[in-house]
Amino acid sequence: MSPAAASPEVKGNLKPRPPPSQSPATSSSSSKRSSEMGATKARQSAGFVTRIKDFLFINLVPLGTSPAQIPSNLFQLVVFHIYHTALIFLHIILSFYYLFARQYHRAKNNFLAFLYHHHRTPQLIAQDIKGLAKTPQHVGIILNYKENEEGGGIEGLMEQVADVVSWSIGACVKTLTVYERTGKLNKLHEATYKVINRTLKSYYGETIPVVKLSTPHDKTVYPEEMATDPDINIAFISQQDGREFLVELTREFAYKAAKGEFEPSKLTVDNVDRLANQLVITEPELIVLFGPKLDLDGFPPWQIRLSEIYYAPYNNSVTYNVMLRGIRRYSKCKINVGR
């Protein structure tokens, strides 16, 4: 308000101004050329030193090192690199271990595939699961879409689903949830249905089990009208049924609450659970991963509370023996909520 209060502001504004207004004048004058040459030399040598410093302390420090660990002086730098070399050495040893472990697990998978094969006969599958203490009613599987590979693409995904459906019916599974992160199969019910029925024919002959496909997110069902109850329900879900579903649910209730139509205290675990079961899927008892490592890949978080998670290390294909081993693991597990 008063000039005294305004003056520091003006000063602050003025201070940085002079250098740019002066610099063009000095650089344009030819009289200072010789001194300029010296300055550039100095600048170059300084650049050389800083470049070496940058190289030593920035470029040589690997990406992903936490900021607190980046060395600040030469001694620390030497120690850092001695330790880091040791770390790289350990990583290499681990890589060799992985190499052997992969061979071992591949051999094991092949042997088990030879030992347990469905031979496209449901009786054999029934025999494999006979005598298990319990079998899952609801199984979730996580599939990975592979683009440029043999057995990949959309057709490959459909074939995989059809195979798993055939095995699941043999293992008395009532509900199968197929998770594929990007939701490639969500809108392809008709084509998938055809592939499933073709595969089922090769297992069951002429009278094939009845299947029903659904995509909870789009609220679509195929076939829309059925004469009998289906032998198996197949739900296709993707990443948008996970966190996004919970976010949308919150948003919906927030709109209602803003209008005064909803009491926030009604938003309990039980109520959210009921909605998640109705609008997406119920909780699978077993989730089988067909990937090489344990990666849930964004499977709906709400529904994996007590699900037994099974994966075969280093396996990279959708095979019967992985599914069977998953079901066997499930039959042995003991779930006691809280106890």
Q: How far apart are CA 106 and CA 324, in angstroms?
A: 17
Dihedral sign computed on CA atoms, order 293, 193, 195, 162: positive
Q: Does 299 bind another protein (CB under 8 A)?
A: yes
Beta strands in the chain (DSSP E): 138-143, 175-180, 211-215, 220-222, 232-237, 286-289, 308-311
Q: Where in 168-187 is the site for another protein (CB under 8 A)? A: none
Residue 251 interacting with another protein (CB under 8 A): yes
Nearer to another protein, 205 or 260 (CB): 260
Stretch that binds another protein, among 2-10, 119-127, 128-136, 295-303 (CB under 8 A): 295-303
Closest distance between another protein and the C-beta of residue 83, in Å?
Answer: 5
User: Does residue 258 interact with another protein by CB under 8 A?
Assistant: yes
77 binds another protein (CB under 8 A): no
Q: Is 329 in the site for another protein (CB under 8 A)?
A: yes
Task: Classify the C-alpha dihedral 189-195-200-201 as positive or negative.
Answer: positive
Residues 197 and 161: their CA atoms lie apart, in Å, by 11
133 lies in the binding site for another protein (CB under 8 A): no
- Residue 249 burial by CB count (10 A; 0-12/13-18/19+): exposed, middle or buried? middle
Does the bond joining 71 to the residue before it have cis omega, within 30 degrees of 0? Answer: no
User: To the nearest whole angstrom, how small is the minimum distance from the Cβ of residue 128 to another protein?
Assistant: 21
Among residues 10 and 333, whose Cβ is nearest to another protein? 333
Residue 182 forms beta bridges with which residues?
none
Nearer to another protein, 28 or 59 (CB): 59
Which residues sit at the interface with another protein, rule CB under 8 A? 62-66, 68-69, 80, 83-84, 86-87, 90-91, 94-95, 242-244, 246-247, 249-251, 253-255, 257-258, 260, 262, 264-265, 267-269, 272-273, 294, 296-302, 304-310, 329, 333, 335, 337-339
